[in-house]
Structure 1
């Protein structure tokens, strides 16, 4: 009889533990929805959504600016599609969201590489771990620059606008080269696709070429325009279009590189965040507040509530 009672208690304990585990899983599922999270098992969609969102942001502001006659329809600078209201308001809001989404991609990529370096034995693994951390810093700075471009219009706040453009393009290009280097290093360990590694290298090469062309052509155009030796409507038309088209190609190349993360993110599942509550600390804090109230009441000669 005693043996049956012991078995019953053990079975009851096991069933209770299973019920608690089920409740925890349900809570984790709820937390997942709140935290990026509808994508937690489909993180490969994050780079796609980010790329489409930013492209949509650029073309929506471009369409509004052209419809209001605030800019020319044939290849203006990206920033010239967001100088006047209402397009600058739309551009700023949408691009800020896009910048946050870029940071999310950078962080997921960092966590992806962190797990690889943690479980894969590699030569000079600490060096690559430091490179992974540097990638987060560079990627976040690039996204910050993108947000600065959106918030500081070129005709109103030139200095912060150009600083933001420099961060977005230069740091963005640096980030792509760093990630491409890591991609080729992982290929030596048999990880990843060779086609993807080649594609990323070609993307980086073209991005660098576009950035050089943009920098040179825009500098030349601005100098000539400042000296009064022409404008974008006459003798400097060719240089101006070279500058604007190359700028759009730089932005497109960075977005194309972001899109390449889709392949890597297929193998990632995002775990839900956990929150640990220190109930004793809350209770102690409440007791301390009551004690303080009593002391104050005694000093004032009143009755505590």
Structure 2
């Protein structure tokens, strides 16, 4: 486990493990309590009722904090690579950082406002999370390719591009099919006219969510080779 202590790789490792646990734990609890159907509920459905709503809110907020730290560390790392503007465009790096922060803000909104309590605010937070999250991983894929051979290997660059494309393609059916879902209850009936739209939207939502997790998984090797330091300056 000595590799875990190298650089800042503990940040993406913690983010990946914790975020995966957030989705899986709340789903299993909601399933055990018969609060959701076993076949692809929306992620937010698994955290709609207590006690899983409390666990979902807390774990999602911690994921947002871990995501903020990881995204900031990645921003500073790419900033170091962009000291030569010919390698990486600093504006592109800042734009990606902004999208990453907005995505974490969306996670905080989702964690705070439950789906069945304040639906409109919850949906706005979810949309903010997914839209800016997809844009973030797309821009990071572009940055990875432009920084090559500095930073990540070509294999990792291609993996990031593949994950970003998958998330981008899955995002649209997530949103489009959701507009055709009229039933608001947590339990679905296969005989409902909107059931196929619900399944398509929910499946794609899970794909997008785990695409984010897979993308941060590719940060581990990069984060082994750098650290961040805080410098204190006192005014005389």
TM over 0.5: yes
Tell me if structure 1 keeps the 8 A contact 2:81–2:150. no
Partner of 2:133: 172
RMSD over aligned Cα atoms? 2.1
Aligned residue for 1:220, secondary structure, equals: coil
Partner of 1:31: none
Q: In the alignment, which residue of structure 1 is the partner of 2:178?
A: 218
**Aligned mate of 1:135, from 96, 102, 111:** 96
Cα pair 2:151 2:222 within 8 Å, conserved: no
What is the number of equivalent residue pairs in this alignment? 229
Q: Deviations over 1:252-277 (max 9, x none)?
A: 00111111111211211233x34455
Which residue is 2:147 aligned to?
Answer: 186
- Deviation of 1:82 after TM superposition, in Å, equals 1.1
Structure 1: segments with no counterpart, 5+ residues: 1-38, 281-305
| TM-score using structure 2 length | 0.89
In 2, distance between residues paired with 1:277 and 1:218? 54
Q: Which residue of 2 aligns with 1:267?
A: 225
* C-alpha distance 154-208 of structure 1, shift in aligned 2 (>3 A): same
Cα distance in 2, alignment partners of residues 89 and 266 from structure 1: 34
1:39-118 equivalences in 2 (<5 Å): 41-118=6-83
Aligned mate of 2:215, from 240, 257, 262: 257
Deviation at 1:247, TM superposition (A): 0.7
Q: Do residues 238 (structure 1) and 196 (structure 2) align?
A: yes
Please say if residues 180 and 194 of structure 2, whose CA atoms lie closer than 8 Å, have aligned partners that are also in contact.
Answer: no
Higher mean alpha-carbon deviation, 100-109 vs 63-72, is at 63-72
Q: Secondary structure of 1:221's match? A: coil
How big is the shift at 1:61? 1.3
Counterpart of 2:205 in structure 1 is: 247
Higher helix share: 1
Q: Secondary structure at the match of 1:143?
A: helix
Give matches, 1:1-12, under 5 Å: none
Q: Which has the larger radius of gyration?
A: 1
Deviations 1:14-37 (A, max 9, x none): xxxxxxxxxxxxxxxxxxxxxxxx
8 Å CA contact 2:7, 2:225 repeated in 1: no
Distance 2:205 2:71 in 1: 22
State the 1:149 CA deviation.
0.9
CA distance in 2 between partners of 1:116 and 1:184 (Å): 12
CA 42–123 in structure 1, closer or farther in 2 if over 3 Å, else same? closer
**Greater mean deviation of Cα atoms: 135-144 or 212-221:** 212-221
- TM-score, normalised by the number of residues in structure 1: 0.70
More contact order relative to length (CA 8 Å, sep ≥ 6): 2
**Inter-partner Cα distance in structure 2 for 1:274 and 1:172:** 31
Equivalent pair of 2:87/2:147 in contact (CA under 8 Å): no
Q: Provide runs of 4+ in structure 1 moved above 3 Å.
A: 39-42, 274-278
**1:90 Cα deviation after fit:** 0.7
